[in-house]
Structures are given as structure tokens and as C-alpha cells.
């Protein structure tokens, strides 16, 4: 049984649970593209906060792209899995080569989404990171770790639906975790939405532009 009609409905319900943050100074809402942005939009709207996008790119091991040896994220942040790097014996030069390639794609996507607008400054801000849901939560965990390195005053992970295990893992990096629902068995994120159609780049661009 679906919990939400669509991402906008999920975002509105998520905003209600975060209403205590409305009026807090230096509040910023970030959406993980693409699907997290239409959830983040009504959150930013209801909390009267600016909205931005936070892009994360996996760093796949050379010749084993499915193996994540780390990730890069908005703000020129790189998070490395040192245990995995040691296990697969990757050199610093190889890591740099992959990071440069993925960095170009990350910057391309940021340009597509922001259309020339600069990213919002996160230092000393209260940051709410939003996604449409999480099964394993791998991308959200990397994003939280990357944002933490940008020194926000407070970091909140917010999702309409996620597995219990994922929400527990988010608490390692976030000061507050807002998971509206943690159904078991979890299945997949899309199962809990009536409409879970793919979010297009144009929708992300439009929503970001509307909040600026």
C-alpha cells in the first residue's frame, strides 16, 4: 500500500514534521538529484528556506566500476573508502584520474541544474538534506559525510520513507534524522509511491530557479 501520491505529496508531509525549524536563521534545504529535489521543494517552500542541489558521484575502481572506492560531491569534497582502496591496491594516480573524470561530470550536472547560479554557502548553516527515499542509503551517507566536511552548524537528514537500517546509519553523520516511515519489509522506494516516475533534468532546473 502506497504511503504517498507522488514526490510533492511526500515533501509536504515531510515539511510538516520539520515545521519546528521554520524561522531558524541560516536554514538551507538541499535535494539529492534527481528525485530528491521535487521532495525538497515543498520542504523549502514551507520552511521559507532557499533550495539548492547537492550532487554526488561515485568513484568506481579502474576496471571494476561497480566497486566504489569513494565519491566526490558538490563543494569539491572527496570521500575515500581507504579500506577498499587498500584491498584492491589502487594507486593515488589512478584515484586522481577517476576523480578528475567524475569531477567533470559532476560540474556538468551542477551547471545543467543551476544554470550559472553559484552554489549556496553551507558553512555555519542549518542544512536539511532531502531524498525521496532510501533502501541502502549509500548515496545519502556519502552526501552527509561530504556536507559535514563543509562545516555546517547543524545537519539534518530528511526522507519520507527509508529502511530502518538506512535511517540508523544516517545518525552517524547527521545531528537529526527525520524518516517519516520505516516499513518492514522495505522492498523498494518506489513501492511506497503511487506515482514514482523518473524526475527529468528540466524539472530539477525549474524547481531550483523558482526558489532563487
- Kindly give the pairing relationship between strand 51-53 and strand 27-31: parallel
**Range ranked top by mean pLDDT from 74-83, 136-145, 157-166:** 157-166
pLDDT of 67 reads 86
Closest Cα partner for 14 from 1, 4, 28? 4
Question: Per-residue pLDDT averaged across 151-180, rounded?
Answer: 97
pLDDT of 186 reads 94
Tens of pLDDT, residue by residue over 30-87, are: 999 999 999 999 999 999 999 999 999 989 999 888 888 999 998 888 888 888 899 9
92-114 helix and 201-211 helix, angle to the nearest 10 degrees: 70
Tens of pLDDT, residue by residue over 106-136, are: 999 999 999 888 899 999 999 999 999 999 8
Closest Cα partner for 130 from 1, 5, 8? 8
Percent of the chain with pLDDT over 70: 100
User: Which value, in Å, is the radius of gyration of the alpha carbons in the chain?
Assistant: 17
- For residue 212, pLDDT over 80 is answered with no
Amino acid at each position: 500500500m502506497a504511503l504517498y501520491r507522488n514526490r510533492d505529496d511526500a515533501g509536504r508531509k515531510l515539511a510538516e514534521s520539520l515545521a519546528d525549524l521554520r524561522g531558524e536563521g541560516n536554514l538551507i534545504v538541499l535535494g539529492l538529484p534527481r528525485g530528491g529535489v521535487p521532495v525538497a521543494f515543498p520542504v523549502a517552500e514551507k520552511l521559507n528556506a532557499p533550495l539548492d542541489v547537492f550532487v554526488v558521484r561515485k568513484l568506481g575502481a579502474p576496471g571494476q566500476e561497480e566497486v566504489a572506492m569513494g565519491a566526490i560531491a558538490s563543494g569539491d569534497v572527496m570521500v575515500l573508502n581507504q579500506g577498499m582502496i587498500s584491498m584492491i591496491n589502487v594507486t593515488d594516480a589512478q584515484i586522481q584520474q577517476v576523480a578528475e573524470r567524475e569531477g567533470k561530470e559532476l560540474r556538468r550536472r551542477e551547471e545543467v541544474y543551476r544554470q550559472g547560479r553559484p552554489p549556496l554557502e553551507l558553512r555555519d548553516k542549518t542544512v536539511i538534506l532531502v531524498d525521496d527515499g532510501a533502501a541502502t542509503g549509500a548515496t545519502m551517507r556519502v552526501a552527509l559525510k561530504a556536507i559535514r566536511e563543509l562545516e555546517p552548524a547543524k545537519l539534518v537528514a530528511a526522507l519520507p520513507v527509508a529502511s530502518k537500517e538506512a535511517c540508523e546509519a544516517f545518525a552517524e553523520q547527521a545531528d537529526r534524522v527525520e524518516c517519516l516511515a520505516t516499513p518492514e519489509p522495505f522492498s523498494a522506494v518506489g513501492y511506497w509511491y503511487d506515482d514514482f516516475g523518473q524526475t527529468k533534468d528540466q524539472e530539477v532546473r525549474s524547481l531550483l530557479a523558482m526558489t532563487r
